[in-house]
Structure formats: C-alpha cells, structure tokens
Structure 1
C-alpha cells in the first residue's frame, strides 16, 4: 500500500535510465474533463478572428499541437473551430502519440473534416521551418515544464513562422483549499520550489512566455483558467493531492511527518465530499505578426 505522500498524481510510467520520465495516459485521461472545463473561452473569439484572415491550405487550417500527450487539446479545440483542419501532433513519447492519433477528433464545428498526423520529437528541435505553413500552434500544460531556453525556442519558432499560439493551463503557483489549513502555504511554497528544479520555470513560465512573445512583436492576452474541483471530481482531487504534497516533500524532506498527517486529513475530507480545491492556471494567446505581412 502506498504511503499518503506517494506521488501517485503523476503516475509516471517506467523509462530507460537515460530517458526523462513520461506521463502515463491514465493521469492525462483523469485530468482531461477538468482541463476542458477550465480552459478560457475568452481567447477563442480573437483567435477565430485571426484564423479567418489566415490563408489556408487545401486541407484547411494546419494546427501544430506541441507536447500533445494523449491529444486532449485537439479534442477540445478542433470542434470549436470552423472549417477543415489538419492537426500535427508532436510529442517525444511514441506511446502517448499512439493514444493521441487513435482518439483524434474527426470533425470541426461546422462538420468539416479534421485529420491528424503524428511526429515524434523534442521541443528543442522546434524551428520556424518545422512550423512553415502552420495556421496555429497550441499546447496544454506545457509551459511550466520548460526552461527559459526552451520557451525561447518555442516563441522564436512561432514568431518566425508568423503563426498565433494558444498555450493553455500553465500553473500559476496558487492553490485554494476549503477549509483553509495552517500548512497550505508551506506546502504550496515547497511545491512551487519543486516546479522550478533543474532550471524549469514552473509558475514563472507564463510570464516569461508572455514577455518573450511581446519582445517578438506579438500581441499577447492572458486569461485565468482555474481547475475548480469539488465532490464530482474526487478521483482527480485525490490524485492531485498526492502529487502536490509528494512533490513538496521531495523538495523539503523535513516536511514529511507533518505533511503525511496533513495529506491524510485532506484525503479524508475529499472522500467525505467536503473538500473543494481551486488550482489556478493561466491561458495565453499570442498573435504573432504574419511573415507575409498579411492580417
């Protein structure tokens, strides 16, 4: 049986010794409904207005989904856009790409055809040439697991290709739990520090990305996209709690004994339907200047 602080949230699947850890599709499927509810609808109208003025290939809009995981972003966004679309699904993990391709959407908001292809690769190799002809670049829950250099690579590729970017669900570093507990702030601080390990930007990522896009001349909009978890999302809340507290303890082992008691109390409240959690995120829309000087 796992200890209360075990990081079950991530459900990392096993990889080789030289490979980075990979997310398991079970965790991505568990969070997908909450992600879909949280994403900002307020960024869709300016995005649609830009896409209407974007030249299209014969097969419609070309959307590059970076770090696509199991493809949840496509399942959310494709049915909200009008017209034929071709999605290019990028991920370093062929296991996740298999799920993304199998469950990719088939039709747009107006019933137009949606197709998909997969490309295995790392964001470090993303360039404007890779994105040539792209109508849109999108990603979900990606920015906060990147370094400043990797965000610079992503931004430069989008700006160089002249395509907009919709980047959703970047952690904001703020969490609210009901009822408040004396350890909430301490766990949050330790978790945020863990998110910044190894040069990753964690909760600083969305600000860094917004600044980088602005430096490239893009118009940038930010909108909140919080998870609001209650009794109806108890399974997700449980897994999130385990991962949140587990990461805090990895960062600060001195918290272990108190954190285990804290987590046990929070899990009991979750099981009883008494716990509500708001996990704050931000969505970012960057409208890069078209390379052909168009609208």
Structure 2
C-alpha cells in the first residue's frame, strides 16, 4: 500500500498503488464490500423489497420462487436477499468466472453455472424447466455499470419475455461527495466516470439506461437510492476504493497524475485520523411486469 510500519505514507505517487486483481472482481474485494453493500441496501427494503414480496405472493401461487442471479460471483446478492423473501426458493447463480462460483455458499438452495450476458434468455428458460416453476425474479448486484447498452437492453427484454420481476441492485450513478471537500475532487470524479465508460460500457449511465429499457418493455419501474456511506469504520473498503478510484481516474486523464498523488496522500492521512467521509451514490431498481 506504500505505507511504512508507522502508518505514514512513504511516497504519494499513484504508481505505488497495489496492482489491480487479475479478474474484474476478486473474492477479496467482494468480501470487504459486503458490509457497506448490506447497509446501503437497507434503504431499499420498504420501497422495493416490500412490493416485490407482494408481487411474488400474487404471481407465484405454488410458493416456490425461482430466481436467476446474473454476475453472481460468490453469492453476496443471495446472502442479502434470500432471507428477505418469505418463500421456498431456488437460485441459479450465473457468472463467467467459475472460480468465484465455486466459493458461493448462499443461505438457500442454489445451482451455479457459467454463463454470459448473451445467454440470459436461454438461462431463464432453462431455470424454469429445471425446477418446474416459471422464473419469478431476475436479479443482479453491482453489475450494470460494466455492461453495454445493448447488453442491458437484452437483459431487460429477456426478463419481459419471461414475465418475471427484475431487481437490479447497487448500480453506481457516478456521484461521489467527500467531506472535507477538495478542489481536485470534481476533476478526479469526472475522469473516473469517463474511464468507466470505456469500451462501450455504460458506467454511471447504467441506472438511467436500465430504467428506460425496462419501461420500453411496459414494466412498472421504481427505484431507491442505496448509497455507500464510507468512513473510518470501514477502513479496508474505503482505502481500497480510494486507491482504485484514483488509479482509474489517472489512467483516463494522465494530466491529473501529479496532483492526484498529493491528493491521495492527504486523503489517506484523513482516513487514518478519522477525519474523512465519502458518499458513493448507488441506485436499486425494481421492475414488475405490467
């Protein structure tokens, strides 16, 4: 991390940041973000989970809820959501990374399978056939920002065709605010957001694009803010997020590199002394068949 044994920063250069993991999401990152995710999603229980449960009770008279979770990783979405659905349920956890799926252990009956976004229609149909119940819910967590507009549209179209509910959780909106503020915050944030849009990914535009795609399918859409609130009680997550946020911003805009090193050194010190907080905006989206 570029720190000496006393906790002081040896070198403010962004070149001293740790290397990015080989996979886009590694199990360590998924683990340290879970407490912040769980706390953020508490804001969605009343406005989104309540209506979802009501719809499932009416639409799934058999009592068995068949759920497909895209980009499931190690199953953190199921860990949060399964206990909040008062039904017998089976989860199909879908991820391109079989290694992550091998570590999944959610508190519900589940099947892990490798798959990609273009497979979503077939996966929904096969899940329904395998468990002799229609797929009731298509869900994902912290996934939409790495998808393209075409992929998001395909997922929403497949859900509408299957007449299942949709719950997209923890999609970043690109809005980040720090306390105390710094003049460089805005430039770093803008560069980071552009980095997230590389290669056609939606990045911070994903929540709005998903809501529009769902409405085009005549689904009833509602959403809720599920922001991360980071402070010194979440030091590992806060530090890791800060470093990756700066790294990606500098990769997008090398012109901020010199100032970014000093900015990061200052922010690390503020975090160490309990003087730094940040709000990282996310949004959860629920869509029900019309």
Tell me: CA distance 1:7–1:45, structure 2 relative to 1, closer, same or farther (3 Å): farther
1:74 to 70, 78, 82: 78
User: For 1:135-194, what per-residue CA distance to the aligned partner results, in whole angstroms no more than 9, with x for missing partners?
Assistant: 111110011110001001100110010000110111111101110000000000000000
User: 1:67: how far off?
Assistant: 0.3
Cα RMSD (Å)? 1.8
Query: In structure 2, what is the equivalent of residue 38 of structure 1?
Result: 40
Tell me: CA distance 1:166–1:8, structure 2 relative to 1, closer, same or farther (3 Å): farther
Query: In structure 2, what is the equivalent of residue 149 of structure 1?
Result: 150
Tell me: CA distance 1:57–1:235, structure 2 relative to 1, closer, same or farther (3 Å): same
Equivalent-residue separation in structure 2 for 1:9 and 1:82 (angstroms): 42
Query: In structure 2, what is the equivalent of residue 89 of structure 1?
Result: 93
Structure 2: gaps of 5 or more residues: 3-11, 129-133
Query: In structure 1, what is the equivalent of residue 9 of structure 2?
Result: none
Structure 1: gaps of 5 or more residues: 14-20, 106-113, 290-295
SS for the counterpart of 2:245 is: helix
The structure carrying a bigger helix percent of its residues is: 2
Are positions 1:5 and 2:14 aligned together?
Answer: yes
SS for the counterpart of 1:12 is: coil
Query: In structure 2, what is the equivalent of residue 54 of structure 1?
Result: 59
User: 1:255: how far off?
Assistant: 1.1
Query: In structure 2, what is the equivalent of residue 124 of structure 1?
Result: 118
TM-score by length of 2: 0.89
Query: In structure 2, what is the equivalent of residue 216 of structure 1?
Result: 217
Equivalent-residue separation in structure 1 for 2:48 and 2:245 (angstroms): 28
Pairs aligned (count): 271
User: 1:7: how far off?
Assistant: 9.3
User: 1:117: how far off?
Assistant: 0.5
Equivalent-residue separation in structure 1 for 2:284 and 2:224 (angstroms): 5
Equivalent-residue separation in structure 1 for 2:251 and 2:163 (angstroms): 41
Contact in 2 for aligned 1:141/1:171 (Cα 8 Å): yes
Query: In structure 1, what is the equivalent of residue 261 of structure 2?
Result: 260
TM-score by length of 1: 0.88
- Structural mapping, 1:161-240, within 5 Å: 161-240=162-241
Query: In structure 2, what is the equivalent of residue 138 of structure 1?
Result: 139
Contact in 1 for aligned 2:13/2:258 (Cα 8 Å): no
Contact in 1 for aligned 2:196/2:203 (Cα 8 Å): yes
Contact in 2 for aligned 1:7/1:242 (Cα 8 Å): no
Equivalent-residue separation in structure 1 for 2:16 and 2:238 (angstroms): 13
